[in-house]
Structure 1
Amino acid sequence: MSKSILLFVLSLFSIVSVYGGDIRIPAKGGGLYQVVIVDRGSKGAKYDGVTGAIVNTSHGTKIAVRDIDFGNERYGWYNQFMIEYTNPSNCTDAYFDIYIEDTTVPVASIPVEQTEEGEYKETLASLKLNIIGSHAVYIRWRNHSANLKTFGANALVPFASVSLVRTGSLTKYKFNVGDLESLTGKHRLKMVWRKNNATVANVYLDSNNPASVEKVYEEDVHAYGVKGGIKIESSNTIGEIWVSSLTGLRMKEFVSLGTSEYIALPSGFYLLRIIPDNGKTIVCKVLVRD
């Protein structure tokens, strides 16, 4: 099921962000990058000039690539490693393990499958941690004897982008959405500001047709959906209230001087924003049922 990211943002000012391009390094090395066979394994791994690949590999073969500049941004320039290989032999639980410097814990493990004779394929894996600065990268063969032809580091590619909207004020929030591909499981979310320095207050990941939501308790405020609307109860004056649809359409906007409010709305999901007298903004999702 497709999903959307909803971002609440603050004022926008132009800045410039720089990203590195993809790196592709042949097995022989060259240019800025030196490739060294550190461990030749049981078969005597070597570079083969005819195929342009490292051949005679085995479990435990290891090479080093020096030096790759991952950039000086907080999350670096790269988030994936790529390998081009051929592996006509049968293999099980086979990987290229990638290490930063000569460490014991890989930062990525690239799966290896059996290929046709002479067939080269590219496969990749994402980094398990953030890397910045220049480092030697070590590649170790695990449970296979694939011939390696190209190694690469791929630049950060977003799986979703959200266009930002100028709010015109440091005290006003607006939001926008961006569509995601199908996504399941638990993941780290990296957000990169591109040509702006907007302040993000809240991020939501929602399906297009959400089915439920918990009641929201935020300090002294209790907000929840009821039949035909939203109920807000507070121990103090509620203050400013905004209600928007998940697509960004503003449905209601008013100031409440009381401690209890009922907002009549059609059934569906809504984003509720409350600014009490103490100035601390509360943002939540609320489901209104028929």
Structure 2
Amino acid sequence: MKKIIRYLGLLTSLCALVMILSSCGSKAATSNESVLKTAESNNTIVWGVKADTKLFGLMDVKDSKIKGFDVDMARAITKQMLGPSGKASFIQVSSQTRIPLLKNGNIDAIIATMTITPAREKAVDFSDHYFNAGQSLMVKKGSPIKNVKDLDKKGTQVLAVTGANSVANFQKVAPKAKVLELQDYAQALQALKSGQGEALTTDNGILLGMAAQNPGYQVVGGTFTKEPYGIAVNKGQKPFVNKINQALQQLRENGEYDRIVKKWFGNIAGFNYKEAEK
């Protein structure tokens, strides 16, 4: 009996130790550490970027590297903030996963075609906007759909991506139409090709990138919203946000921002990159 009591006492002590260690680990994971200081210490900023969005962030199957405007901007901002030797590390995100990954501390910042909205500002802090987009439509060439009003009728189905604000935007201007939400842009494009919807809606820059890869499809109707993209960071990281804003301003002044915009959008037919720069 004494051995059993001694064993139970030891077991209780071990359980208490595990609980203490777990509590310490949880506290460290959720503590409000300075992202800026950590980035400066590691000489690295970890960015969340998309890998399925041509022109902004797309995985190159030849070398398994993500390439696009957002990626180049992240690298330029990193070097502006940390110096020429500063490193930008990238983790793939989607419209659904980007905020959870930021909140969990897997990434330091999101630069992934993320529109600044009041709802999102409740969860994250945004930098100044770095790109002006507008929501539009992509349809198969020869489609009778010419603008968003052509879709505002019962029985019409439009495709969009879960987690993007394009769903709510579209429903405001075409409330009679149904929206089928897909997990990512690759699935949404495939759904459009298979006839599951009459149009795919999201920001014009994203759609023009898709159309450039798929000649049988075109962007129509101009834009029906304004979508200012911002860089998202966790709440309580004001010094980090200020440093990002300072870097963005410096990149505009030294011409690097203009160079990156022209590299990715200068030759895209139907896209006014000067408007996007404003």
TM-score by length of 1: 0.22
Q: Which protein is richer in strand relative to its size? A: 1
Name the structure with the higher helix share: 2
TM-score normalised by length of structure 2: 0.23
Larger radius of gyration: 1
